[in-house]
């Protein structure tokens, strides 16, 4: 059975490879030089094409078979199949030391590595928080928000403008930005309360564009596409730092914010509110019929997600000291959404992993930067086909029950 299957796959792959090689023959093999008036036949390219497409086809069939077998297992009542990775990570005796080690590395990082590396890691950490924030709105509450970056812009511009006009410092604006973010979250939340699915996505997409266009065109307010420069770096009790020290300082601020966000979102996930969000995502009508105030739950999800994005905006402005509307395009929203979807909707650990993968890999693979969007797109397609639940599947808490209770 397995052998027959394998042979079948090999045959199918061979036919696919031959066909593709034939189709691409004129493009890949024949080269006409119009100046020299010569025709070169590059037969090696045909071989590349054959081998390459054959290998890809075999891999594709193998993965597809594996996926179908997994689905069959699930259907026949085998329960949820767990990936080895997530099983391993769930074991507390693995998880605890791993977390401690991770934190230790994180704390030591700026002393061991260069400023350049630290800066990259700050970006990654910012995206971790953005991902976790969007995870509340999209992953837990199921409200597809395609304009998330607008809240990020709100925070960034709040700091830039308040700093520029009133010389307010980082630590003053940080809470202000959070409040402003929550306000904008609720502002967006109200008109979209009745919408869901596609409609919600379109409205939030529009909201994101509106915020960017306002920033771009209302020059008197935001200085337009030229942006705002000379934003102060964070200080501490009147002490101001040089570039290097400031980077380290921001790094530690970011690290603290990441730890705080993880703590908050992980606890929220298994709380009364978190359950209400999940119920909202799963079945809105049943959720309301069971006594949950949909309006409140939705607004809370929007507000919390927006608060985190806005906080990150403040940090981002302080880190780069220069912002302009180009940093807040739809591409950013899509990126953050990709982090959430790739990592695993609703899974805190998954989103963290997703953020690191999607932000750090392009940084360290600059050699392939021309193919960045190509690889990005292909990765997303592959993940959606073979692992639609994301890298790490969100798991619900297993409750310990006090059976003696009357």
| Contact positions vs other proteins (CB under 8 A) | 79-80, 263-264, 267-268, 271-276, 278-279, 282-283, 285-294, 300, 304, 394, 396-399, 401-403, 405-406
| Residue whose CB is less far from other proteins, 17 or 257 | 257
CB within 8 Å of 347: residues ≥ 6 apart: 139, 390, 392, 393, 394, 395
Q: Least separation, in Å, of the C-beta of 143 and other proteins?
A: 16
Q: Least separation, in Å, of the C-beta of 269 and other proteins?
A: 9
Q: Least separation, in Å, of the C-beta of 187 and other proteins?
A: 19
| Residue whose CB is less far from other proteins, 105 or 260 | 260
Task: Measure the CA–CA gap between 135 and 145, rounded to whole angstroms.
Answer: 10
Task: Measure the CA–CA gap between 154 and 186, rounded to whole angstroms.
Answer: 13
| Residue whose CB is less far from other proteins, 90 or 244 | 90
| Tokens standing for residue 195 | 């919408």
Cα distances (angstroms) measured from residue 96 to each of 16, 129, 183, 228, 241: 48, 21, 37, 43, 35
SS3 state of residue 392: coil
Q: Least separation, in Å, of the C-beta of 77 and other proteins?
A: 8
| Residue whose CB is less far from other proteins, 243 or 405 | 405
Cβ(170)–Cβ(314) below 8 Å:
yes
| Residue whose CB is less far from other proteins, 250 or 297 | 297
Cβ density class 347-378: b for 16+ within 10 Å, e for less: bbbbbbbbbbbbbeebeeeeeeeeeeeeebee
Q: Least separation, in Å, of the C-beta of 131 and other proteins?
A: 19
| Residue whose CB is less far from other proteins, 3 or 398 | 398
Task: Measure the CA–CA gap between 174 and 312, rounded to whole angstroms.
Answer: 9
Q: Least separation, in Å, of the C-beta of 298 and other proteins?
A: 12
SS3 state of residue 338: helix
Q: Least separation, in Å, of the C-beta of 125 and other proteins?
A: 20
Q: Least separation, in Å, of the C-beta of 268 and other proteins?
A: 5
Cβ(308)–Cβ(133) below 8 Å:
yes
| Residue whose CB is less far from other proteins, 348 or 358 | 348
CB within 8 Å of 253: residues ≥ 6 apart: 234, 315
Task: Measure the CA–CA gap between 212 and 204, rounded to whole angstroms.
Answer: 13
| Residue whose CB is less far from other proteins, 81 or 219 | 81
* Residue owning tokens 């009147």: 238
């Amino acid at each position: 059975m397995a052998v027959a299957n394998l042979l079948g796959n090999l045959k199918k792959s061979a036919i696919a490879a031959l066909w593709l090689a034939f189709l691409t023959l004129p493009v890949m093999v024949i080269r006409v030089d119009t100046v020299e008036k010569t025709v070169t036949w590059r037969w090696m390219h045909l071989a590349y094409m054959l081998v390459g497409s054959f290998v890809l086809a075999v891999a594709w069939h193998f993965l597809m078979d594996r996926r179908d077998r997994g689905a069959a297992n699930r259907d026949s009542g085998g329960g949820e199949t767990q990936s080895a990775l997530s099983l391993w990570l769930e074991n507390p005796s693995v998880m605890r030391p791993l977390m401690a080690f991770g934190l230790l590395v994180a704390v030591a990082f700026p002393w061991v590595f260069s400023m350049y590396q630290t800066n990259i890691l700050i970006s990654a950490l910012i995206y971790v928080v953005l991902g976790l924030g969007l995870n509340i709105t999209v992953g837990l509450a199921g409200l597809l928000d395609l304009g998330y970056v607008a809240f990020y812009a709100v925070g960034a511009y709040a700091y830039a403008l308040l700093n520029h006009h009133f010389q307010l410092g980082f630590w003053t604006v940080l809470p202000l930005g959070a409040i402003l973010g929550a306000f904008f979250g609720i502002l967006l939340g109200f008109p979209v309360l009745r919408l869901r699915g596609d409609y919600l996505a379109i409205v939030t997409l529009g909201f994101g564009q509106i915020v960017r266009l306002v920033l771009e065109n209302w020059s008197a307010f935001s200085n337009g596409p030229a942006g705002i420069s000379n934003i102060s770096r964070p200080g501490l009790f009147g002490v101001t730092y040089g570039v290097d020290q400031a980077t380290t300082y921001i790094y530690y601020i970011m690290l603290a914010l990441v730890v705080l966000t993880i703590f908050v979102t992980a606890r929220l996930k298994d709380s009364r509110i978190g359950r209400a969000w999940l119920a909202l995502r799963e079945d809105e009508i049943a959720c309301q019929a069971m006594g949950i105030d949909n309006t409140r739950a939705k607004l809370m999800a929007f507000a919390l997600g927006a608060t985190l994005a806005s906080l990150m905006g403040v940090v981002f402005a302080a880190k780069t000291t220069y912002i302009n509307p180009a940093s807040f395009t739809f591409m950013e929203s899509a990126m953050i959404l990709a982090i959430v979807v790739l990592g695993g909707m609703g899974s805190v650990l998954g989103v963290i992993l997703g953020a690191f993968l999607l932000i750090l890999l392009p940084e360290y693979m600059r050699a392939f930067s021309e193919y960045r969007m190509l690889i990005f797109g292909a990765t997303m397609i592959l993940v959606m086909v073979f692992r639609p639940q994301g890298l790490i599947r969100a798991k619900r808490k297993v409750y310990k029950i006090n059976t003696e209770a009357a």
